[in-house]
Homo-oligomer: A and B are copies of this chain.
Amino acid sequence: MADAAGREFFTTRTVGEALAGFRPRRRTGPETVALRDALRRVPAGPVTAPNALPGFARSTVDGYAVRAADTYGVSEGLPGYLTVTGAVHMGAEPDVAVTPGAAVTMPTGGVIPPGADAVVMVEYTAGVMPGTIEVVRPVAPGEGVVRADEDAKPGDEIIAAGRPLRPQDLGMLAAAGVTSLPVCRKPVVAILSTGDEVVPPETAELRPGQVRDATASALAALVADAGGEPAYGGIVTDDPGALEKALRAALPASDMIVISAGSSVGVRDETANAVGRLGGPGIWCHGLAIKPGKPTLLAECEGVPVIGLPGNPRSALVVFRLIGMPLVRLVGGCTVPPPDPSMRATLARDLASATGRLDVVQVRVTGGVAEPVFGLSALLSVLTEADGYIVIPEEATGLDGGSEVTVILYG
């Protein structure tokens, strides 16, 4: 949108609009990884069981494989007697079948021998004479037995696409003999810092007016947490053209670009200009109804999401957590994001908020009470002192002290 003088205008969007509506088309392709490197990776497709699992009927208890019918009606007062005709050994095929009136010694996990349909727990038997046991409790068919396909039938979907693999998922894949699988490549997220005052963290002595780049290190960590691969793009000077050049250099190798912009209005405008000159469809919004974090820019350049973050480190990290991490997951094929740690707490004091704007308030939590940590957006210590944050939604005008709130905890 442009006015008669050719100046561009961009509407401010809400966080909800951005999460639902800003969907750049970039997606990473599949790559194959070994099972032991697959934790939290996102399966590129569903995985099905090649065979039945566990693959054979197994005993779930230590005891005796029997025909259930041979135990009907037995009790402590009127035990049944069965002849022990053999034993099953772990990891081996039974060399004996269970005939009427017979019992075969079973270890937990052993193969149910032919003819048997249940296993009596050893606790409900007693050896009365060599080769004979008495049984004091009846068993039903199937009791003490896990079926050959009870964990999975051949062709069952054992792992869904789009959900990061959890420890138990790796166990299931190992059980099925799947020792490598296609996952979505980790999105490469270029992190560019801007601002003439910004110097690398390695800088030992600062000149007056200089600050070390705090945001890039924290952003890289958030990218990794979202399943992405951070790529430090360095610090770009405020010189017009330098940012555009850096963006054009980063674009071909990046699945997403994050610009940690200087905090002054001039630098922010320069960021918008540089992003606007890249490939389309271009800028989606310039301004987000969130506090802190209003001066946020969202753009899609040649399919790649580009986020221009506010200059204050704290604002930048708040926005990247709410908007950037979901984008990293989207590009990386994740359709079922992992849950955030959260807890219910009692809000210690009233919090005011403006309608139409989402407020993110940092809190310390002690004994179930959430105490807001106040301070300027420029302060990083507000974030390091916080245990988590609460969100005051757009439609609210504030929250009352004493009310119950959900705190998203920093994990």
A224 to B204, CA, bound (A): 34
Closest beta carbon of chain B to A367's beta carbon, Å:
15
A54 to B195, CA, bound (A): 15
Is the CB–CB distance between A159 and B384 below 8 Å?
yes
Closest to A195 in B: B90
Q: A174-B213, A177-B203, A204-B177 are known contacts. Are A238 and B313 too (CB-CB below 8 A)?
A: no
Copies held by the complex: 2
Say whether A108 faces chain B, with CB atoms less than 8 Å apart: yes
Closest beta carbon of chain B to A179's beta carbon, Å:
5
Is the CB–CB distance between A263 and B108 below 8 Å?
yes
Q: A195-B109, A218-B168, A410-B168 are known contacts. Are A175 and B380 too (CB-CB below 8 A)?
A: yes
Q: A177-220: contact bitstring with B at CB < 8 Å (1 yes, 0 no)?
A: 11100000000000000011110011110111111111111111
A313 to B169, CA, bound (A): 12
Say whether A21 faces chain B, with CB atoms less than 8 Å apart: no
Q: A171-B217, A203-B177 are known contacts. Are A166 and B109 too (CB-CB below 8 A)?
A: no
Is the CB–CB distance between A215 and B171 below 8 Å?
yes
A201 to B173, CA, bound (A): 8
Complex contacts, A370 vs chain B, CB 8 Å: none
Say whether A99 faces chain B, with CB atoms less than 8 Å apart: no
A168 to B264, CA, bound (A): 22
Complex contacts, A219 vs chain B, CB 8 Å: 167
Complex contacts, A90 vs chain B, CB 8 Å: 195-197, 209, 238, 262, 264, 267
Closest beta carbon of chain B to A66's beta carbon, Å:
18
Of the candidates B263, B342, B379, which one forms a contact with A150 in the assembled complex, judged by CB atoms under 8 Å apart? Answer: B379
Is the CB–CB distance between B265 and A62 below 8 Å?
yes
Say whether A85 faces chain B, with CB atoms less than 8 Å apart: no
Is the CB–CB distance between B265 and A36 below 8 Å?
no
Is the CB–CB distance between B264 and A62 below 8 Å?
yes
A168 to B409, CA, bound (A): 13
Closest beta carbon of chain B to A252's beta carbon, Å:
24
Is the CB–CB distance between A209 and B262 below 8 Å?
no
Is the CB–CB distance between A313 and B175 below 8 Å?
yes
Complex contacts, A89 vs chain B, CB 8 Å: 196
Complex contacts, A151 vs chain B, CB 8 Å: 378-381
Is the CB–CB distance between B159 and A174 below 8 Å?
no
Is the CB–CB distance between B342 and A380 below 8 Å?
no
Is the CB–CB distance between A174 and B206 below 8 Å?
no
Assign chain A's interface to a size class: 35 or more
Is the CB–CB distance between B152 and A174 below 8 Å?
no
Complex contacts, A96 vs chain B, CB 8 Å: none
A343 to B343, CA, bound (A): 7
Say whether A18 faces chain B, with CB atoms less than 8 Å apart: no
Complex contacts, A409 vs chain B, CB 8 Å: 339
Complex contacts, A207 vs chain B, CB 8 Å: 91, 93
Complex contacts, A212 vs chain B, CB 8 Å: 174-177
Is the CB–CB distance between B341 and A172 below 8 Å?
no
Q: A357-387: contact bitstring with B at CB < 8 Å (1 yes, 0 no)?
A: 0000000000000000001111111011000
A residues lining the B interface (CB < 8 Å): 35-36, 39, 53-56, 58, 60, 62, 89-93, 107-111, 122, 146, 150-152, 158-159, 166-179, 195-198, 201-204, 206-222, 224-225, 238, 262-267, 311, 313, 317, 338-344, 375-381, 383-384, 409-411
Task: Give the 4 A-B residue pairs with the shortest CB-CB distance, closest first.
Answer: A171-B218, A91-B197, A167-B221, A107-B264
New contact pairs (4) apart from A53-B380, A177-B201, CB-CB < 8 Å: A35-B201, A109-B311, A122-B265, A173-B201
18 residue pairs A–B, Cβ–Cβ below 8 Å: A36-B220, A55-B211, A89-B196, A90-B195, A91-B198, A107-B265, A108-B264, A109-B262, A109-B264, A152-B381, A166-B384, A166-B410, A166-B411, A167-B218, A170-B218, A171-B215, A173-B201, A177-B204
